[in-house]
Every structure is written in C-alpha cells, then in structure tokens.
Amino acid sequence: MNKSLLIFTFLILQANAQTGISVSPPRIYFDSQSGISNTQLISVTNVSAKNTLDLAVSLGDWEYDEKGENQMSSANTLANSCASWISIKNSDNYFTLKPGEKKELEITVTPPKVATDTLAAHTAVLYVSQMNPVDDVDNKGASIKVSIRSGIKIFHSYPENFIRKVEIEDLKYDQTVNLINLKFRNQSKLWVDGKISGEILNTQTGKKSVLDNVVFYTLPGNLRALSLPVKDILEKGPYNASIIIDYGDAAQLEMAELNFNYE
C-alpha cells in the first residue's frame, strides 16, 4: 500500500531528486497606503527532472511561537492577517509546469480604504501546493506518494516612520547545560529582524570566548526565548557575559551584561 507524504517548506526543496519546486523570493514586503494597490511577482519553477506538476495557489495566516518557529493557521483567523487583502489572477490560481518550466505569479495587496484595526503591520502566507502526488520510495524502500507545498511569507506595512524597538527582558547562565539563556521582546509596531552576538570574559584571567551569531525574526509584540551555547570549556572563576542585539544601524542596538561564577 502506498503511503502519502506532504513536504512543506519556505525554501527551495527537492525530494530524492524526483519532484520539487522552487519559489522565489521566500518573503515579499508591501508598503502602501489604505486603498492603494501594490503588485509584486513571485517566480515558481518546477525543478523536477521528469515530473510535470499540477500546482494550486491558496492563502493562510502564520505567526511565530516563543522559540521563533512558524505556526500556521487558516486564512483570516489571526488579528494581524492581510489574507483578505490579497488578490491573484484567475490564471495563476491553478497551473501546470513541465520539468524545468517557470511561471511568474502576480500578487496584489490592497489594504482597505477604511482601516478595520489600528495595527501598523499585517502578514499572510501564500501557498503553492502540488496537486498530483508522484511515486517515490522512503528510506526503508517502501512505496510512497510525495507532494510538496511551499510557503511565501507576505508582509504589509503602512508608509509611516514607525520606530523599531527590541528590549531584553531576561539574561541567565545555566551551568548544567553550558548555555546563556536570553529573552527579549519586540516592543515596536513593525516586524524586527536582526542578529545576536556576544562574548564571555573571564574577569580574572582576561580570557575571552566569542559566542556564535544567531539570526532572529520577530513580529510586533513577540517575546523570543533562545539559548546561546558556550562551546569552550570554562575555567573556574568569575565571568562577564555581554550580549548585543543588532537590528538595524548603529543606533538600533540592545545590549545587556551578566556577571556569574563558574564553579
């Protein structure tokens, strides 16, 4: 008996080189006033070597959880959804791509003339789904049916000069697992993306240990909790950990320090 396998991705994906689609870009940003339409193109490519793909376009909502993982919902169910603002040409709703063939989709976002909320940022996700599963085998050699769905995140903001702000709420060191645990919140009305960096200094010997950079994404109001591994084996003694969240230019930095003893 064939089993079915649905593979979902926000990136380029191929399953055992038998079937796959590439959707680019994986994120599109719209910036327009109320009632003003804005159109952008998405490129969809059948990267399969031999399979013709029947594809359908649909919409949904998404949000991040505290760990930054994507949580998917039905269209128009989240408070910040702009799924109902999105229109797609009829010819782009269902289409077929031969191996290696590419198609451009026109995505239009039109915010309502009269705002229905006071949010500055709205989001949605556009799915491109394979409707004709293809034969394949799993890693145990069993026959399966494989279909692929790719998601493109859609962001909309109004053209106003909103200030982005991130604030660190908690910083701790967990010696049992050798991790720096960080919590921070997006305090602004827009999404905030950036990079977290840091270093640990032995205040007795002067020896430094640099932490690996971490890229993060947040939506307005999001609380993010993440852990930064301390890879080097620490010597016993007093330490100072400094953490920097960079989410723009030099004026957009959030910094915090933590003093602890390693015993």
Residue 26 sits at φ, ψ, to 5 deg, of -75, -10
Beta-carbon contacts of 160 under 8 Å, excluding residues fewer than 6 positions away, are 120
CB 18 within 8 A of CB 51: yes
Tokens in use for 109?
């976002």
Instruction: Name the one residue in this structure whose structure tokens are 């719209």.
Output: 30
Classified as helix, coil or strand, 93 is: helix
List the beta bridge partners of residue 58. 127
Question: Would you say residue 17 has pLDDT above 60?
Answer: no
The pLDDT tens digits of the residues spanning 34-70 come to 999 999 999 999 998 888 999 999 999 999 999 999 9
Is the C-alpha dihedral spanning 220, 40, 38, 159 positive or negative?
Answer: positive
Whether pLDDT at 152 is above 50:
yes
- The answer on pLDDT for 14 being more than 90 is no
Query: Domains along the chain?
Result: 3-157 (2.60.40.10), 166-262 (2.60.40.2360)
Question: Which residues pair with residue 4 across a beta bridge?
Answer: 145
Which residue is it, tokens 């085998």? 137
Name 139's Cβ contacts closer than 8 Å, sequence gap at least 6.
Answer: none
Count of residues making up the chain: 263
User: 53 near 103, Cβ under 8 Å?
Assistant: no
The model's pTM: 0.86
pLDDT of the residue at 13: 41
Distance, first Cα to last Cα, the chain: 58
Q: Give the pLDDT score at 4.
A: 47
Exposure letters 61-99 (e unless 16+ CB within 10 A, then b):
bbbbeeeeeeeeeebeebebbbbebbebeeebeebebee
**pLDDT score at 18:** 57
- In degrees, rounded to 5, the angle at the alpha carbon of residue 19 between the alpha carbons of residues 13 and 20 is 30
Q: What is the mean pLDDT of residues 207-215?
A: 93
Flag whether pLDDT at 202 surpasses 70. yes
Write the pLDDT tens digit of every residue in 93-103.
999 999 999 99
Does the pLDDT at position 148 exceed 60?
Answer: yes
Percentage of the chain beyond pLDDT 90 is: 75
Q: What is the mean pLDDT of residues 105-118?
A: 95
Question: Taking Cα atoms as reference points, which of 210, 208, 205, 215 lies closest to residue 246?
Answer: 215
Closest CA to 106 of 121, 90, 83: 90
Q: Assess contact for 121 and 219: CB atoms under 8 A.
A: yes
Mean pLDDT of 178-195: 95
Helix boundaries (H) for the chain: 90-93
Q: Is residue 97 within 8 Å of residue 52, measured between CB atoms?
A: yes
Residue 113, helix vs strand vs coil: coil
Average pLDDT, the chain: 89
Per-residue pLDDT of 119-144, as tens digits, reads 999 999 999 999 988 766 566 666 77
Angle, CA 133 vertex, CA 130 and CA 134 arms, to 5°: 120
Share of the chain above pLDDT 70, in %: 89
